[in-house]
Amino acid sequence: MEDHANITVPHNLIRKAFYNFSALREYSYSYSFVRCGHSPPVLIADGNWKIAFDLPAHLFRRPNLDNISEKDTQVNVRTRWETIEKKMISSGFCDGNTFANPYACPLTYTAFTPWLGNCSRISDIVPKTEVFLSQKDRAFTSSCGLVMDEDTILQVLESKTPKREALVKACKALGVSHVGSTTDLINRLEELLLYKDLYPKMFIKLQKAGVGGVLHMTCTHSVVYYQSALWWQESARDHGDALLSFKHPPTVFVSDIAGRVARHVNNRTNQCFFQPYDGRLCANTTEHIQGAAEKLLEVRFPWVTSVGFSSRTVSANEATNSSDRFSSLHPVTGTSARFSLYDRFHQKNQRRQEELLRSLKLAPHLAALVNSSVAEQLNRELSSSKYSLCQMKDEHYMFSLRLYFHLHNKRINDKYTKTLNMQAKQAVHIGLYGKLTFRSEGSATAVPEVLTSSREPRTDCWGQTNIRARKEIPDFQLQNPPNPQLDHVLDETQSPEEIIGAVGTSVLKRLDLMSLGLNQEVEATVVNCCLSQLSIISGQKGKDVHAVNSYAVATWQPPLNCDPFLSLPADASSKDCIIFPLCKSSHWTVCVLLPKLKRIHILRMFLHSQHLWIAVYSC
């Protein structure tokens, strides 16, 4: 442009103006997909070391373990990112002046702040323990002379299976500790390669091997949920920090180091995170390993079908009020199990036989829903910006990456929402859990904006703890005494989007309850909540009643044809009653199964002569 127009373009001024403008913009940075919600059931992780940046070599000196405090192992993401944005805004006033930027801070391990959405993370303070990498033994040997030439050491590092004896010899030659595992020795050697002036050939090797870069985690639709800039090469510790940052960790975690991630995270959580089977798809037995090797083993899970449905929620009788968040149910899959599996590019290259049980191929129904290559596709997309990202300073690098992933996510969300609005006959809006939900056209046209004060359930309308079953209803006729709470809930002049209450993890708004209490088509989530309350009340009367989720019943029919037994509890034959809600042609039918009596009742309701009739068919 300068040569063509014969002008001088102020590059630095334009760059500063861009970052100043972007920092002033109130981007949401929600980092979620409206199809998967705030807590995706599947996350796919990968690192990209090709988009690294320059740092002074002295910053890579590892701190002494005795001097590491709590602030070095965790970071407040909200405060840190606000500081970065304020620093960029202030740079327009401070650069070129004698006074320093008031928001400047020293570059430390926690300064490389990760980011995940506000509704996805467990809190503003998340773990960042990269400072502990390769800190087992920092003792240096007395030998500091270079008795091995640089080419020999480079050949050792380039070997796919380096011998421990050669690594120990190289460590002694360079004056670093030779105590620890093979990985520790390699990490110590690679650390020295940062000194380009001393070892120029091995410095080039280090750049190819990948130290630093970015770790990103996406759902199966390539939407980024987590990203973090790295000082060192991608490790299991970085993956563990990310997983422990989520409010609801994913049920399925896919990566190229799945075994190392499972062992590391379980060690940090007292073997509570990846369970059962240490994150494998089945138990580590000789029969299972042999079946996996011979491609005869197949694993199925009752929650797999729910991964592909955005409307699946955990009902009250499925959820558990556990104080341990690692044993709580995932809001989408409805299970507390978690699995660490290999992506399709690395599932064949495992030395340990038990790692065969981490292959997605063992669960074909799950593999059909999971595109494990989305992380690699995102890396290819990032390669187009490789040159500019590698030339940036650390703050600009982190800020640009977060903004890049946000715009990437926004493009996918907007495309999906636009397509759904064009094809759907009902209006859609984003619900409390970050998923798109359907509403009837008549109701959606009058939906106002949700008030800030209405984001939490109203305790005066819901959450009653004194619900009990009535002994009898006189003449089977429901009495209708004045009820101010009911009148408030069904008040059509109030906001339909006001949150009234919750049953388990299903949040109910006024619009949901209006579909139940007024002359409208009832929504499936409301049906699930009603049947859940029915199960609770029946339990109070000594009856064991199980209500099947209506979304699961829908999968029994063509074209999915799922096995109905996968949706039933193991003790289904001992239940007093099992209820199946079924919607067909906008009409609900309730099937009541009495296992002990081996009898089925089918209840259908219809309106005739201004009277509500219930037809019961028994067999």
Domain membership flag for residue 459: yes
Domain membership flag for residue 553: yes
Looking at the fold, whether 368 and 459 belong to one and the same domain comes out as: no
Domain membership flag for residue 18: no
Q: How far apart are CA 319 and CA 337, in angstroms?
A: 13
Looking at the fold, whether 322 and 463 belong to one and the same domain comes out as: no
Domain that holds residue 298: 28-80+100-133+210-411
pLDDT tens by residue, 516-538: 655 667 777 788 888 888 888 88
Domain membership flag for residue 401: yes
Looking at the fold, whether 482 and 588 belong to one and the same domain comes out as: no
- Of 411, 432, 462, which one is at a domain's C-terminal end? 411
- Read off the tokens for 82: 């606000």
Burial label, 177 (beta-carbon count in 10 A; 0-12, 13-18, 19+)? middle
Looking at the fold, whether 444 and 571 belong to one and the same domain comes out as: no
Q: What is the mean pLDDT of the chain?
A: 75
Domain membership flag for residue 12: no
Q: DSSP labels for 397-411?
A: HHHHHHHHHHHHHHH
pLDDT tens by residue, 292-326: 888 889 888 877 764 453 344 454 344 444 556 78
Looking at the fold, whether 285 and 340 belong to one and the same domain comes out as: yes
CB under 8 Å to 85, separation ≥6 — which residues? 23, 399
Q: Report whether 219 contacts 413 (CB < 8 A).
A: no
- Read off the tokens for 2: 């300068």
State the pLDDT at residue 451: 31
State the pLDDT at residue 204: 47
Q: Which residues of the chain have pLDDT under 50?
A: 134, 136-146, 194-199, 201-211, 306-307, 309-313, 315-321, 440-478
If one counts the domains in the chain, the total is: 3
CB under 8 Å to 474, separation ≥6 — which residues? none
State the pLDDT at residue 437: 73
Q: DSSP labels for 30-91?
A: ---BTTTBSS-SEEEEEEE-SS-----GGGGPPPPGGG--GGGSEEEHHHHHHHHHHHHHHH
- Of 491, 521, 551, which one is at a domain's C-terminal end? 521
State the pLDDT at residue 217: 95
Looking at the fold, whether 341 and 365 belong to one and the same domain comes out as: yes
- Of 505, 521, 537, which one is at a domain's C-terminal end? 521
Looking at the fold, whether 517 and 528 belong to one and the same domain comes out as: no
SS3 (DSSP) at 515:
helix
- What pTM was computed for the model? 0.62
State the pLDDT at residue 565: 81
Looking at the fold, whether 260 and 400 belong to one and the same domain comes out as: yes
* Terminal-to-terminal C-alpha distance of the chain: 82
State the pLDDT at residue 539: 80
Which value, to the nearest 10 degrees, does the dihedral of the CA atoms of residues 268, 273, 275, 280 take?
Answer: -80
Looking at the fold, whether 399 and 486 belong to one and the same domain comes out as: no
Q: Report whether 393 contacts 17 (CB < 8 A).
A: no
Domain membership flag for residue 193: no
- Read off the tokens for 618: 């028994």
Domain membership flag for residue 484: yes
Nearest to 288 by CA among 276, 302, 274: 276
State the pLDDT at residue 403: 94
Q: How far apart are CA 242 and CA 214, in angstroms?
A: 12
CA 210 to chain centre: 26
b/e map 214-235, b = 16+ CB within 10 Å:
bbbbbbbbbbbbbbbbbbbbbb
Looking at the fold, whether 373 and 448 belong to one and the same domain comes out as: no
State the pLDDT at residue 605: 66
Domain membership flag for residue 271: yes
Looking at the fold, whether 558 and 492 belong to one and the same domain comes out as: no
Looking at the fold, whether 270 and 405 belong to one and the same domain comes out as: yes
Question: CA separation (Å) from 261 to 235, 267, 274, 343, 373?
Answer: 8, 10, 9, 13, 18
